[in-house]
């Protein structure tokens, strides 16, 4: 249908089915009838880690999932806001079933840190290890003057703290505006502040929606690339990802509730400098307009002379995408890196998802780079098959 019309809403159909299954009690825990005696450690409890752990447990292996946060779920628990994915009735209900089926969750456990097992201990105690840590290093603007000013934060720092404060306080975020006594506990609060979000992807949109619920005084979203056309561009026909203007929930809410119905986005602009006051707090953001041209099959940008201006702000959130997984685990487990990710093959061959350490596998964003939740789940399932085949062959 995507060739000529809007695609079929498979997501909505599947969501209705699984909600019905939980409501009717069809999701009773089903522990495996036989245990193989093999042990697997999964590092990270995001979509890839949970998918791998679930499959391996169903195969009869004993699985332990290590998570450095206080709740399992990874990106889906803390990185995605509550209004987008309910944590209690979506993420926790699934991990609760997995725990009853025999999966062991070790939260507040960062491998190699004080009080947690070392990488060597994990290797010695298990027949295989699956790294599913995600791509958690955010792209920064470290070379832009003024980056060290107070009030400039990475997007995930903002989203993680906000969601954790809501969950810890038992708040239910269903209203347009926040419940002041609950969200005030968030480490970064956008209440009555002039907020600028740099980056136009899903993470930036989630920062916009969260800032709306905090009650921000103003919200501006900056995007480096030019404004896409309202309909799919001719140079991105199906099945390519469409170059088309996408107005998500955050943009709609901010325009309606904060910006008098006007779009909060500014396209084709580059950050030149963060402006601070005498106390070291950010008070403005200097930007310049860009013009984009196609040269030798590539898009090139040039600054527009005389277009520099300063936007007032006291909170800046950087939502510029992710570079890859954090490096220490690679060194601890003896795993090679490639283009910033854990190097592991993919495919149907015998070495699929195996890293340079034959006992260690990698799946999800930490292997393929920043991607979609569905890709994380798919890779976790595929990696579980590779791990199973290697252990049972031995």
Number of domains in the chain: 2
CATH of the domain at 40: 3.50.50.60
- Predicted local confidence at residue 183, as pLDDT: 42
Phi, psi (5° rounding) for residue 246? -115, 115
Q: Shortest CA distance to 61 belongs to which of 44, 43, 41?
A: 41
Residue 238 pLDDT? 79
> Do 15 and 87 reside in the same domain of the chain?
yes
Domain end: 300, 320, 340, which one? Answer: 320
Predicted pLDDT of residue 348? 65
Decide which of 24 and 2 is more confident. Answer: 24
Q: How many CB atoms are closer than 10 A to CB 7?
A: 10
Residue 349 confidence (pLDDT): 65
In a domain, 188, yes or no: yes
Which of 320, 338, 358 is a domain's end point?
A: 320
Q: Tell me: the pLDDT tens digits for 139-162?
A: 999 999 999 999 999 999 999 999
Give, rounded to a whole angstrom, the gap between the first and last alpha carbons of the chain: 46
What's the pLDDT score for residue 185?
53
- Cα 290 to Cα 267: distance, rounded to the nearest angstrom: 9
The answer to whether 223 and 197 are in contact (CB under 8 A) is no
**Beta partners for residue 312, in sequence order:** 284
Among 226, 208, 209, 316, smallest CA distance to 271 is for 316
Whether 301 is in a domain gets the answer: yes
Residues 74, 124 within the same domain: yes
pLDDT single digits (tens) 156-177: 999 999 999 888 887 654 443 3
Q: What is the pLDDT of residue 176?
A: 30
Q: How far apart are CA 190 and CA 347, in angstroms?
A: 45
Number of residues that this document lists for the chain: 394
Cα dihedral 121/126/128/131 (nearest 10): -50
In a domain, 1, yes or no: no
Residues 231, 308: one domain? yes
How many Å apart are CA 391 and CA 394, to the nearest integer?
Answer: 5
Which helix (H) or strand (E) segment is 100 a member of?
helix 93-100
pLDDT for residue 114 is more than 70:
yes
pTM of this structure:
0.88
Stretch among 97-111, 140-154, 174-188 having the lowest mean pLDDT: 174-188
282 is a domain residue: yes
Q: Does 316 share its domain with 203?
A: yes
Are residues 185 and 170 located together in one domain of the fold? yes
Give a yes or no: residue 128 inside a domain.
yes
In a domain, 3, yes or no: no
**Based on the domain organization, do 83 and 128 belong to the same domain?**
yes
pLDDT digits (tens, 9 = 90+) for 284-336: 999 999 999 988 878 899 999 999 999 999 999 999 999 999 889 999 999 99
Question: What pLDDT does residue 178 have?
Answer: 39
348 within a domain of the structure (yes/no): yes
Answer yes or no: do 296 and 388 share one domain. no
CA angle 191, 194, 198 (to 5 degrees): 110
DSSP 364: T
* Range(s) of the domain holding residue 28: 10-136+323-393
The per-residue pLDDT for range 341-394, each reduced to its tens digit, is 999 987 666 678 999 999 999 999 999 999 999 999 999 999 999 999 999 986
Sequence-ordered list of residues with C-beta below 8 angstroms from that of 44, at least 6 positions apart, any chain: 65, 66, 67, 74, 131, 132, 133, 134, 364, 366
> For residues 97 and 103, is the Cβ–Cβ distance under 8 A?
no
Confidence of residue 204 (pLDDT cuts 50, 70, 90): very high
pLDDT attached to residue 381: 96
Q: Domain check: are 315 and 205 in the same one?
A: yes
The verdict on 158 and 106 lying in the same domain is no
> What is the C-alpha to C-alpha distance for residues 353 and 390, in angstroms, rounded to an integer?
11
> Which ranges of 219-269 would DSSP assign to H, the alpha helix?
249-257
| Element (DSSP H or E) covering residue 105 | strand 104-106
- Whether 189 and 67 map to the same domain: the answer is no
Find the helix or strand (DSSP H, E) in which 318 lies. Answer: strand 315-318
| Most confidently predicted of 39-43, 83-87, 235-239 | 39-43
Same domain flag for 299 and 380: no
State phi, psi for 13 to the nearest 5 degrees: -65, -50
State how far the Cα of 219 lies from the Cα of 315, in Å rounded to an integer.
10
Largest CA distance in the chain: 72
- Average pLDDT score, the chain: 91
Distance of alpha carbon 124 from alpha carbon 85, whole angstroms: 37
Q: Residues 81, 207: contact at Cβ < 8 Å? A: no
Query: Among residues 320, 355, 384, which one ends one of the domains?
Result: 320
pLDDT digits (tens, 9 = 90+) for 39-72: 999 999 999 999 999 999 999 999 999 999 999 9
Q: Are residues 217 and 342 in the same domain?
A: no
In a domain, 330, yes or no: yes
Residue 243 pLDDT class (50, 70, 90 cuts): confident
Cβ-contact 250, 209 below 8 angstroms:
yes
Phi, psi of 119 (to 5 degrees): -60, -40
């Amino acid at each position: 249908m995507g060739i000529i019309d809007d695609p079929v809403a498979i997501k909505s159909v599947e969501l209705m089915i699984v909600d019905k299954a939980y409501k009717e009690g069809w999701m009773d825990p089903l522990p495996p009838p036989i245990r193989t005696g093999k042990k697997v450690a999964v590092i990270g409890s995001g979509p890839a880690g949970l998918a791998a752990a679930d499959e391996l447990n169903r195969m009869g292996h004993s699985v332990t999932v290590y998570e450095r946060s206080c709740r399992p779920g990874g990106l889906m628990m803390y990185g995605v806001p509550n209004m987008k994915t309910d944590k209690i009735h979506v993420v926790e209900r699934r991990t609760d079933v997995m725990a009853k089926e025999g999966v062991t969750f070790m939260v507040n456990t960062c491998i190699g840190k004080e009080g947690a097992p070392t990488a060597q201990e994990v290797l010695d105690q298990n027949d295989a290890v699956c790294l599913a840590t995600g791509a958690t290093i955010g792209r920064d603007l470290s070379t832009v003057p003024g980056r060290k000013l107070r009030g400039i934060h990475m997007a995930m720092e903002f989203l993680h703290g906000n969601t954790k404060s809501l969950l810890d306080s038992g708040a239910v975020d269903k209203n347009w505006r926040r419940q002041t006594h609950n969200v005030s506990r968030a480490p970064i609060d956008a209440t009555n502040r002039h907020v600028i979000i740099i980056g136009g992807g899903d993470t930036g949109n989630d920062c916009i929606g969260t800032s709306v619920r905090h009650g921000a005084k103003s919200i501006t979203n900056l995007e480096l690339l030019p404004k896409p056309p309202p309909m799919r561009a001719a140079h991105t026909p199906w099945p390519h990802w469409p170059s088309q203007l996408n107005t998500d929930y955050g943009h709609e809410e901010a325009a309606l509730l904060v910006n008098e119905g006007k779009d909060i986005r500014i396209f084709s602009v580059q950050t030149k400098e963060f402006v601070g006051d005498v106390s070291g707090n950010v008070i403005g953001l200097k930007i310049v307009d860009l013009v984009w041209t196609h040269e030798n099959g590539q898009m090139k940008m040039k600054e527009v002379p005389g277009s520099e201006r300063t936007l007032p702000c006291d909170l800046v959130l950087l939502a510029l995408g992710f570079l890859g997984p954090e490096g220490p685990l690679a060194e601890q487990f003896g795993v090679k890196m490639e283009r910033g990710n854990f190097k592991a093959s993919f495919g149907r061959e015998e070495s699929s998802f195996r890293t340079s350490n034959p006992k260690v596998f990698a799946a999800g964003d930490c292997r393929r780079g920043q991607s979609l939740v569905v890709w994380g789940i798919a890779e976790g399932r595929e990696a579980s098959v590779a791990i199973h085949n290697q252990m049972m062959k031995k």
